[in-house]
Amino acid sequence: MLPPFVDYAWLADHPEVVVADVRSYLDERDEHTAYLADHLPGAVFVDLNAYLAATPTVADGRHPMPTPEAFAEGMRTAGIGDDDTVIAYDDDNGVMAARLVWMLRITGHRAAVLDGGITAWHGSRERGEVRRPRAAFTAVPWPAELLLGIDDLDGLQLVDARPAERYRGEVEPIDARPGHIPGAEVLPCRESSDELGRLLPVPVLRERYAGLREGWVSYCGSGVTACHALLVAEHLGLPRGRLYAGSWSQWAGTDRPAELG
């Protein structure tokens, strides 16, 4: 079975895979412009906002899960088919690429995050658009047992994958109010990697993730980077987690209580 993370050596040995650039930014940078200027050889651009999320709303959050059909149509457009193996990367510790990889894996497809992404890449690079022929991709329902809504969280172990300062409520650059869901623990996803975006050694990660219990729930700002924590847990052979897709962007738009500190 394909592990959730692969390295450059694995990629070099598997030229048949589809490489997907899943860079995404919260600031003024444009991810498609960044892709056109500089990407891994043969990589297609997968637009997170267009293909991996539905339209944002106050009620549902910034990156609601798309319908299975909308996701399938995005994959078809990108040239990703049912039988393809997808290796996704970004320039942010793999936390954006993780959304695509998690969505593919939970629907029975072969996909992994490229450890280190473009940040640690020392090979050749390309410019411009890579277009693959439209592919056949079957819409598959999201596994209900792996996705939780805002009313499903009581009594569960909640793990907040955002940076610690956002969890504590010291800063809030984008969502309606600062803080975190009461009772949630913090486990910043980007701290699972080194300065070049490569995963920390397994013993170090096992210590960081040691507190996870069966049925734990991952969330973040909008349900994107939380997927990285889910993949790291799988990488370590720990209990399988579930995603609260609405995450803080949904919770903060309600009058539900929030904790600071």
Catalytic residues: 220
Which residue in this structure is represented by tokens 């899960």? 65
Q: Which of these, 160, 103, 168, lies nearest to 137 by C-alpha position?
A: 103
Rounded Cα distance, 31 and 49, in Å: 10
Residues forming beta bridges with residue 159, ordered by sequence position: 185, 218
- Residue 15 makes CB contacts below 8 A (sequence gap 6+) with none
The span from the CA of 107 to the CA of 26, in Å, is 27
With beta carbons less than 8 A apart as the criterion, state whether 23 and 88 touch.
Answer: no
Adjacent-strand bridge partners of 86: 18, 111
